[in-house]
Amino acid sequence: MREKTVLLQGAMEEECACFLKHMKEPEETVIDGWHFWSGELCGRPVVVARTFIGMVNAAVSTVLGIRHFSPGAIINQGIAGAHGLDLEIGDIVLGTRVMNGASFQSEKLDRGQGSRWEGWKPLPLEIRGEMTRDNTFLSDPGLIAAARKAAASGSFRVVEGCISSADMWNREYDRIAFSHAAYGTMAEEMEGAAVCQVAAGYKIPVLSVRAISNNERKDGAYAPETADICARFVMAVLAEYGRI
């Protein structure tokens, strides 16, 4: 029986390039402006999707990818900004949970009382008429197990935790530190939670993985080339996933 296809997602060209370089004879398909490449990687069928940046783009790309390629699993990957103070450029964050970092309800404050994001409460999300418990999604246990085996090789520095997604780039030290302490967020990016929400509606296993490209709690230097590190880790995950 042919193995089910894994949909590998990257928002930017840098986040897809490593996969395309190692794929056997990738075949490009463009659907309504979104790009997909079908082929073989690590001995199994894959589709690489360039989702473009942002939650809406990622959601649309995911729906198109599911409808046209019927994947058995989705790995959303790429680069992210660190929330953990000890995270370094190139570290891998394995998202055991993914949080919609914009899905909160603020407390009621009167004029002149300002904004107190410390009092915001997680706001549930709707999936096909059903409300989630809060604003987080769990990654698939089988994919997590494969990722842990890949991490055990020692070739990558991997930490586990929550990845936050929203259409924003936080550069406020105190807000980042609060999110890390209050919600266990290890990193932030701009696509993963939307992908998880769509995948949940289709009941497709999903995993979120990110390589740290910048840490605003340190010098904030941005290194998008760490996308290659994340892609190489994901290929190691693919190899392990085929053995489970």
pLDDT at 155 (0 to 100): 92
- The 10 Å CB-count burial string (b at 16+, else e) for 25-63 is ebeeeeeeebbbbbbebbebbbbbbbbbebbebbbbbbe
- Whether residue 57 is predicted with pLDDT greater than 60 in this model: the reply is yes
Q: How far is CA 151 from CA 69, 171, 237, in A?
A: 28, 29, 8
Contacts of 56 (CB under 8 A, 6+ apart): 194
Cα 60 to Cα 78: distance, rounded to the nearest angstrom: 18
Beta bridge partners of 73: 6
pLDDT at 24 (0 to 100): 85
Average pLDDT score over the chain: 96
> Quick one: which of 84, 102, 82 has its CA closest to 181?
84
Contacts of 86 (CB under 8 A, 6+ apart): none
Does 1 map to a domain? Answer: no
Residue 181 belongs to domain spanning: 6-241
pLDDT at 103 (0 to 100): 97
Cα 119 to Cα 29: distance, rounded to the nearest angstrom: 46
**What percentage of residues in the chain have a pLDDT greater than 90?**
95
Q: What is the pTM of this model?
A: 0.96
Does 40 map to a domain? Answer: yes
pLDDT at 117 (0 to 100): 87
Domain tally, the chain: 1
Can you give the CATH number for the domain in which 153 is found?
Answer: 3.40.50.1580
Does 203 map to a domain? Answer: yes
Cα 242 to Cα 244: distance, rounded to the nearest angstrom: 6
pLDDT tens-place string over residues 39-49: 999 999 999 99
pLDDT at 242 (0 to 100): 73
Please compute the mean of the pLDDT values over residues 103-126 and round it to a whole number: 94
- Whether residue 71 is predicted with pLDDT greater than 60 in this model: the reply is yes
pLDDT at 244 (0 to 100): 52
CB 142 within 8 A of CB 206: no
Please compute the mean of the pLDDT values over residues 212-217 and round it to a whole number: 97
The model's confidence at residue 1, banded by pLDDT at 50, 70 and 90, is very low
The model's confidence at residue 213, banded by pLDDT at 50, 70 and 90, is very high
Please compute the mean of the pLDDT values over residues 16-27 and round it to a whole number: 95
Does 159 map to a domain? Answer: yes
Please compute the mean of the pLDDT values over residues 155-170 and round it to a whole number: 97
